[in-house]
Structure 1
Amino acid sequence: MSPLLDINLDKIRYNTAQVREKCRQQGIAVLGVTKGFSAMPQIVSAMLAGGADGLADSRMENIIELRNSGFTQPITLLRIPELSDVENVVRYADISVNSEITVMEALAETAQKTEKSHQVILMVDVGDLREGILKEHVLETAKQISRLKGVRLLGLGTNMGCFGGVLPSTDNLGLLVELGFRIENQLGFKLEVISGGGTSTLLLVENRKVPAGINQLRIGEGILLGTDTTNQRKISWLWDDAFVLSAEVIELKSKPSVPMGDIGRDAFGNVPEFVDIGIRKRAILALGKQDVYIEGIVPVDGNLKILGASSDHLIVDVTDTEQDIKVGDNISFQLTYSGLVSASHSRYVAKKFREVQ
């Protein structure tokens, strides 16, 4: 039996509804980010059932599949469009985030040729140093966009926590709002969206510290896992076990804790290190690095310890558990965001959906 990713759609729906309600109270719309689970339609439907105001993904392949699956909701492309792919962007995505005027000119030209209109969110770098233009270039870039035919400047956005680890704050989000005001005053039209980041901004929402004017968040991790990695916390009012990965025990034996013989490199080129703690009871599971990002899974039973993994095998120390683990049993794991991304995308991991009640 393949490793299994058990997906509770009802908990995803609940989490979406909880996030949307807290945000709605402060005038903030919620986009359900679908990239973390490869945009599987069952999960997308659960997000929408929970009240997500729109969808967002960083991969055009996912967006195309969503359209082909019949989803008609507004979809935002979260990764800056590739110049070589502007035709698909205009055809399948309603909105895209942008920072390069060359790309926006190509989007405009394509939109005119196909008699479509495409909306863009100008990304501003407020400190995390991933995508976005610097604040001193925002007004001039907005002017350039306003002169293009075929695209419309929908608003401003920013990203935090994904590269530099910079946390959202009233100061950096306030700067985004202020830049929006400047554009409106200089260019004489209203920006519809000021997009203030993702799950890491939920802490400000909880504490009611989001600056007035921020009216959109793009939420993936919080809805899916009930966690906020950037702020190093579990979100107490959300389910954290909507996704559970399990794999079968294929060997169970007591062995020394240190290998015998000269130590070279493992199958992935690393030199392993071991501490001698005596004979330990070890389970080998039918799960490996080809299946999931091992550093992104955590045993549900806190008395189990992952010792390591090869391409096809996961070695777990089961000495201290109270469970009577046998060959053929399954061991369960919760996932971090990186673990979820890899398990969702893996064709070696089966998926089981619990239907929304």
Structure 2
Amino acid sequence: MVQPCIVTDTVKLRHNLEYLSKKLQKNGIAIAAVTKVFSAHPKLVSIYNEIEEIAFLADSRITNLKSYPNNLTKEKMLLRIPMLSEAEEVVRFADISLNSEIETIRRLDQKASELGKVHQIILMLDLGDLREGIFSSSQLMEYIEEILKMEAVSLVGLGVNLTCYGAIIPEPVTLQKLVDYKQEVKKRFSYDLKLISGGNSSSLYLLDQAEGIPEGINLLRIGEAFVLGVETAFGRRIAEMYQNVFTLKAEIIEYKDKPSLPIGNSGQDAFGEKPVFEDKGEMRRGILAIGRQDISHQNMIPRDSRLQIIGSSSDHTIIDFTNAKEDYQIGGMVEFDVTYGGLLSCFTSQYVDKKFI
């Protein structure tokens, strides 16, 4: 191996997919499985496609949707609201997209008509997280009135995003607003919306609460829970799922005893930051062949709890091996768990090899 690698245990991943998708199905909730964290790697997309309970494969990037294998049986969903400039590609490569701007929806209608297709959309509502979504109920009804007159766009549902930006917890009273809007649309327009999407992995904690997820919420967009085995409202582990599906491995390229404090006058580092160091005396310092161009060291958790990450530059990560110095050597490998952001970085970086077991 000539570079760091991210190793996927496909048996554990499949277990996570099957366990959670079956649990959600029992609660009457369909799944849009998010593939962006592993850059829609074809091998993993194919595994997701085999899970019967998954209804949609979802991604934020058209590039990833275009890379999906040709033999998929699931509908494809675009998660990030479309750019005007990519409307034609959205219609070509996504069966359904999330939207919040009427001008963009008009463009989708135009392009879908030109291509002889009908494009499905979910209107996103902003219920307090202050990322994407229609904020006022009057504007929502104005949009719906216009959309229902379109010939090549089909309004199939309403959705919300929570916790990703404003970190707002998806409480039942918040999600109930989506269900109430569905009823208002039915009353006002005699139109029945079939999908009510109550957020992402942060809504999963409600399955174990007395109130539960409000009746009428029938779609969740699940990414992090599948790959890391956690709900994301509070970061709690899901006991029946694996948290170690992915392992990051990096090689030791230097292994020496050195002081813990840099010597000389301190200025800015290569990233314009002014680092602060603690004097711990002499330590066994190791350098790994992985750096910020691949992943932030803050998103790496050593499997060996005796090791401590000191810092990183663009191509190097520096580790304090003092408490385990006899167990490692030049050319040896160090293993890490990674956060969701770290996993995203590893699969995005061309310098991190992707391996599967």
- Alignment TM class, shorter chain as reference: over 0.9
Name the structure 1 match of 2:256. Answer: 253
Q: Find 1:273's aligned residue among 255, 276, 296.
A: 276
Whole-angstrom distance in 1 between the partners of 2:208 and 2:246: 24
> Does the 8 Å contact 2:12/2:245 carry over to 1?
yes
Report the Cα offset of residue 251 of structure 1.
1.0
Q: Which amino acid aligns with 2:117?
A: K
Q: What is the percentage of aligned positions where both structures have the same residue?
A: 42
Q: Spell out the pairing of 1:276-315 with structure 2 (5 A cutoff).
A: 276-315=279-318
One-letter amino acid matched to 1:27: G
Whether 1:149 and 2:161 are equivalent positions in the alignment is: no
2:267 is matched with which residue: 264, 267, 270?
A: 264
Aligned-partner Cα distance in 1 for 2:320–2:259: 11
Q: What amino acid maps onto 1:157 in structure 2? A: G
**How do 1:87-236 and structure 2 match up within 5 A?**
87-136=88-137, 137-207=139-209, 209-236=212-239
Contact 2:5 2:353 in 1 (8 A): yes
Q: Deviations over 1:5-37 (max 9, x none)?
A: 101111111111111111111100111100111
- In structure 2, what is the equivalent of residue 64 of structure 1? 66
Equivalent pair of 1:288/1:309 in contact (CA under 8 Å): yes
Q: Give the TM-score, by structure 2 length.
A: 0.96
The answer as to whether partners of 2:39 and 2:64 remain within 8 angstroms in 1 is yes
Report the more deviating stretch, 10-19 or 313-322.
313-322
Aligned twin of 1:74: 75
Secondary structure of 1:338's counterpart equals helix
Contact preservation (8 Å) 2:49, 2:73: no
Please state whether the residue corresponding to 1:32 is helix, strand or coil: strand
Matches of 2:60 and 2:288 in 1, distance apart? 33
Alpha-carbon offset, residue 50 of structure 1: 3.3
Distance 1:130 1:172, change over 3 A: same
Letter in 1 for 2:192: K
- Equivalent residues in 2 for 1:18-33, closer than 5 Å: 18-33=19-34
Counterpart secondary structure, 1:24: helix
SS of residue matched to 1:302: coil
Instruction: State the TM-score, normalizing by the size of structure 1.
Output: 0.96
Q: Does 1:338 align with 2:347?
A: no
Q: Report how far residue 70 of structure 1 moved.
A: 3.5
Match of residue 241 from structure 1: 244
Deviation at 1:323, TM superposition (A): 6.2
Cα 1:180–1:284 shift into 2, 3 Å: same
- Where structure 1 has 5 or more consecutive residues not aligned to the other structure, the ranges are none
Matching residue of 1:46 = 47
Residue 350 (structure 1) aligned with residue 345 (structure 2): no
Query: Equivalent residue of 2:250, what SS?
Result: strand
Residues 12 and 47 in structure 1, CA contact (< 8 A), matched pair in contact too: no
C-alpha separation between the residues in 1 aligned to 2:49 and 2:115?
A: 29
Once the two structures are TM-superposed, the CA of residue 72 in structure 1 deviates from its matched residue by 4.3
SS at match of 1:108: helix
SS across alignment from 2:323: coil
> How far apart, CA to CA, are the structure 2 residues paired with 1:256 and 1:335?
28
> Aligned partners of 1:61, 1:25: CA distance in 2, in Å?
33
Give, in whole Å, the separation in 1 of the partners of 2:71 and 2:80. Answer: 22
RMSD in angstroms over aligned alpha carbons? 1.3
- Decide which moves more: 257-266 or 289-298: 289-298
What runs of 5+ residues in structure 2 fail to find an aligned partner?
Answer: none
Aligned positions, number: 353
Tell me the residue number matched to 1:86.
87
Q: What is the Cα deviation at residue 269 of structure 1?
A: 1.1
- SS of residue paired to 2:261: coil
> Would you say the 8 A contact 1:12–1:43 is kept in 2?
no
Counterpart of 1:25 in structure 2: which amino acid? K
Q: CA deviation at 1:301?
A: 1.1
Cα drift, residue 135 of structure 1: 4.1
Matched with 1:327 is: 330
- Deviations along 1:255-310, one digit per CA (max 9) or x if unpaired, are 11111111111111111111111111111111111122222111111121100011
